[in-house]
Structure 1
Amino acid sequence: MCSPSATLTLWAGSWLAGTSAPDDVLEALHAWASRHTIAAGDPVTGGRTDLPWTSHEAGTGSGAMPLLKVIREAMAPAGAQLRLVLPAPGDVRGLPVGTAFAADAIDAEEGLLLGVPGQPGTGLIPQWDDDETLQWTVYSVDIPRVDGPDMSLGEAEYTMRESVRDAADALMRLHTTALGAGDADPREQIEDQLAAYSRHAYPDSIPLRAKRILDTADHVAAILTVAQHEPASSPTSASALDSHESLLRPLWNTIREARLVAVHTASGRLD
């Protein structure tokens, strides 16, 4: 699982569909952090939800349970959707433009939107307070209307299979052109990254194809993470940095799109 927001989207969707219990959602979240807090992102949201406002008060330490109340209330209207967002520099599709939620989601590179498209709804963004504490900030936002995904579930699965090869080729190219040589074995580093992803379970109700896409996306992400951070592949000039970015960025964009398609399918947003 790539992020706390993806975990919450999948498990909350399963819970709302009646295929998982509230305790299952809480257990999945605790795989990310032993302590969860929740707070409002602004005074208006604080007044609406009776949550402390983050600018003036610490988030409540009552654990992840209050999240379930926020989610259930946000998803109560007919037509409400639960949507994961994974923004990146240059790609802010699906965000409510000009809002505090959008700005904070870009910084966090993740978040959730809950509600009826075109109507007032709720945003959630997880942010780390420390190594053991994950704070969920609640926002009042107008839920934007969005077009369908750029790829189908079948296309996402095919693209992810191709991306495994492309990511491995990118890693090899970066190591071949690097001036230094690291001591760490990239294969071991990739296995470590995959082990971190695999700590986070999927609901039993997730469609098999969606799970395959998410697992393959994690595999590609593990390779790319090693390619980015392995000392042997560190760029040594501005031109090398540009080459490094141009090689890896398209693969990260493909992973992000495939994850969104898979998560939204599993959480019931798509047919």
Structure 2
Amino acid sequence: MSCPSSTLVMWAAAWLAGACSPDDVIDAVQAWAPMHLVGAGDAEAAVQWDLPWPDPEDAGPVLLLRAVRRLTTEDPEASVALVLPAAGDVRGLPVGTTFAGAAIESGQGVLVGAAGRPGLGLVPTIEGPDVLRWTVFPIQALPGESDQIGLGEAEFELRRAVREAAEALASMQGGYARDDTDPRTRIAETLADLAHHGQPRSTPVRALRIFDTADQVAAILTVAGDSSGRAQSAAGAAAREETLRPLWSAVRRARLAAVSASVQAALPRP
């Protein structure tokens, strides 16, 4: 699992479908940090959703699940969705909202509710060592589903991204300082960290495969884009970023597709 928002979306969807317990969701989310601070984004949200404000509380993910359960109970069409925004790529965000700004800064977020209706946005940020802060934002009208690729297209894009990421890494290795850790070791360490975060049993096999490949590409890109230990011109750094940007976009698109398919798989069949 690539980020806390992905974990919350997938496990919360499984919980809402009756495929796992609340404790399973809490355990999965807390694997990202031992302490989770939860608070409202403003006074109105604090009153409406009975959340601490302006200072968050160390309540763990329980307050998040309470808000998700309440909203999905009040609106049977409400669900949970993941957003992974980046500069120039804000698909799925409610335009002009405080949530959108916070999600872009964090690079992730969770939407709770039904399209066109009031809902919530949840954004995790690193508050300190081993601490995640979750901010809950009210959203007047959730956006409709953003255009997403299917799992087949996601796999195709990732196969291309694997080749191009490996080529990018090979072309940049000459810039590493001699005392840098071997890139292969750093890639393995990154993948080992992500391996601690599992998916619900309801996750489709194809989605699992996409998650694994996306993690591999992301690990390579992280190492390839790390400029530590190198002396590069501004032009060289810009060229490197330009090379890696479309590959990061492919990773985000694939992860969004896999999470969306997993949420749909968790829903009870009519």
- TM bin, normalised by shorter chain, reads over 0.9
What amino acid maps onto 1:108 in structure 2? S
* Structure 1 residue matching 2:57: 3-state secondary structure: coil
Corresponding position: 1:48 with 2:48:
yes
Q: List runs of 5+ in structure 2 lacking aligned partners.
A: none
Take 1:105 and 1:198, find their aligned partners in 2: how far apart are those partners? 24
- Residues 151-162 of structure 1 aligned to structure 2 (within 5 Å): 151-162=149-160
What amino acid maps onto 2:51 in structure 1? L
The residue aligned with 1:62 is 59
2:188 equivalent among 176, 187, 191: 191
The residue aligned with 1:146 is 145
- Residues 1-271 of structure 1 aligned to structure 2 (within 5 Å): 1-54=1-54, 58-76=55-73, 77-141=75-139, 142-149=141-148, 151-176=149-174, 178=175, 180-229=177-226, 231=228, 234=230, 236-268=232-264
What is the CA deviation profile of residues 160-203 of structure 1, one whole-angstrom value per residue up to 9, with x for unaligned ones? 12221211111001124x37545321111100000011011111
Deviation at residue 81 of structure 1 after TM alignment: 2.5
Whether contact under 8 Å (2:203, 2:266) holds in the other structure is no
Q: 1:238 to 1:123 in 2, by over 3 A?
A: same
Deviation at residue 123 of structure 1 after TM alignment: 0.6
What amino acid maps onto 1:253 in structure 2? S
Deviation at residue 241 of structure 1 after TM alignment: 1.4
Q: Point out the more displaced range, 45-54 or 206-215.
A: 45-54
What is the CA deviation profile of residues 34-56 of structure 1, one whole-angstrom value per residue up to 9, with x for unaligned ones? 111211001110110111223xx
Q: 1:81 to 1:240 in 2, by over 3 A?
A: same
Q: 1:10 to 1:118 in 2, by over 3 A?
A: same
What is the CA deviation profile of residues 72-114 of structure 1, one whole-angstrom value per residue up to 9, with x for unaligned ones? 1122213213110000011111111111101111111100001
Percent identity of paired positions between Structure 1 and Structure 2: 45
Whether contact under 8 Å (1:111, 1:126) holds in the other structure is yes
Structure 1 length as normaliser, TM-score?
0.93
Aligned residue pairs total 265
- Tell me how large the CA RMSD over aligned residues is: 1.8
Structure 2 length as normaliser, TM-score?
0.93
Whether contact under 8 Å (1:264, 1:270) holds in the other structure is no
* Structure 1 residue matching 2:125: 3-state secondary structure: strand
Whether contact under 8 Å (1:235, 1:244) holds in the other structure is no
What amino acid maps onto 2:147 in structure 1? G
Q: List runs of 5+ in structure 1 lacking aligned partners.
A: none
* Structure 1 residue matching 2:197: 3-state secondary structure: coil
Whether contact under 8 Å (1:82, 1:269) holds in the other structure is no
What amino acid maps onto 1:81 in structure 2? S
Q: Point out the more displaced range, 179-188 or 45-54.
A: 179-188
What amino acid maps onto 1:210 in structure 2? A
Take 1:40 and 1:17, find their aligned partners in 2: how far apart are those partners? 26
What amino acid maps onto 2:68 in structure 1? I
